[in-house]
Each structure stands twice: as structure tokens, then as C-alpha cells.
Amino acid sequence: MQRVVFNLLYSLMFLTASQGAASVLSDYQQKIRVAGDDMLQNLEVSYVYGGSKIGDAGTCDSCNRCLEEKSPSPKMRFKECPTCGGCSLDCSHFTQLVFARAGLSFPYITSAQMLDLSADALQKKYNLKPVATTPTSVIPGDMLVYRGHVVIVETVREPGIADIIHATGGKDIRLPGQGIQRERFAKIGTFRGDLLRVIRHIKLDELYHSDGVSTSQGSSTARFKLRPVEKRKTQ
């Protein structure tokens, strides 16, 4: 009985904290969420290692058809399907584009650089800041960096558990054109191996510290599409 009461009180405290978030910070986080969701729902873009462009519909379709026919591995897709140079994304280019669309631009940076660069270099050159690398410190809008991969936190469901969005060529991709995916209730600390770094845009970090609270979840998340994401074309 005591455990039930404790869990109820904890849930109420967590919900109260999320509802008390500052409107400016919440607005930035919502813009990130909306930008990623818009790309997921409306773009038929394949994951290609090094992919950095979203071309017109014809170029994207040509890339997707080539990948479907030849089925090369993610790192061989440019070689096997050169047309994908005009329409494809990888995880770091997707992340940069989402933030740019949300009004939080930063120069392009690879996931490897996110891990290797010093905090000073990240802040001065990229307007990014490494924060505590613990799953419970994560807020919506953070970038989670794993070895060879980076994802964006959309919603924190509970400490250590979050909905994330990313560009990926992983096992969940069923067809070309599905390179952007959402993972619900992902385990932050071990999603793609060990969590190695948490990166936050300095504007988000400044607002977070000035207001002392972050948006963890909200009713607006309910309208976002759940995964697995299927983008099968109508014949």
C-alpha cells in the first residue's frame, strides 16, 4: 500500500513540474517537435550515410526506387545509387535541419565531433553545450549522442525514458523512403549502445537555467504519429 501511495505522489509531482514549464522554453521545444514531425510525415527520404539534401519529389523517388532494387548497405548507398546524393539524410544532417527549421540553427557537425570536441569548442563554434550525461537530466530538445549516432528528444515520458526522433537505416526500416523514424518509450541510457553525451543548444540551456524547469510532456504530444512508421506508396 505504501508503495502505491509513493508511486502516485511521484507521478503527481512529475506532472506538476511539467505543467509549470516556462512558455518560452516550451515554445522552443514545441518548434523542434513540430519540425521533426513534419519531416517524418511529409518527406519520403531514405537514410544514406553522408546524405545531406532533400531534393524534389522526382529525385527522392529515383533514389528510393534505386535503393529498393539494389538494397545496398547504408554506407554503400551513394556508390550504388548516385541519385541519392540529391535526396537523402543521415542522423547528423537530419538533426541540424530540424533545429534550423525550429529557429535554433548551428553549423553542421557530425556525431563523432559531438563526442570528440571540447565543451569550449562546441559552444564557441556550434552554439551547443554538453550537459550532464545522465538519462534523468534530459529535457525535450536535447540531442543524445551514441557511438556513431545522434537522436533528438521529443518527449520525456519518465526519468530515463523518452520519445525520440532520428534519421536511421536500422532494422525498423521496412522500405526506402522511411529514413526518418520515431521511437516511443526509448531507454535513453542504452538506446544505441551506451549514452555518451547529451548536447543542448545554448538557447535552450540558457532558458532552462533561467527558469529552472523544463517541459517533460504535455497534451500536445498526443497528436504526433506513433511508430512503427509505414510510408507505403499507393499503387
Q: Give 59-84 pLDDT, tens digit per residue.
A: 999 999 999 999 888 788 999 999 99
pTM over 0.75: yes
Instruction: Give residue 211's pLDDT.
Output: 57
Arithmetic mean of pLDDT over the chain: 82
DSSP 214-233: -----GGGGGSPPSSP--PP
Q: Where are the domains of the chain?
A: 2-41+109-223
Average pLDDT over residues 169-194: 87
pLDDT, residue 30, reads 92
Burial class (CB in 10 A: 0-12, 13-18, 19+), 148: middle
Question: Cell numbers at residue 177, please?
Answer: 523512403
Cα 152 to chain centroid, rounded: 2
pLDDT higher than threshold 80 for residue 210: no
**pLDDT value, residue 234:** 38
Helix (H) or strand (E) holding 120: helix 119-126
pLDDT band at 168 (very low <50, low <70, confident <90, very high): very high
Alpha-carbon distance of 166 to 139, in angstroms, equals 16
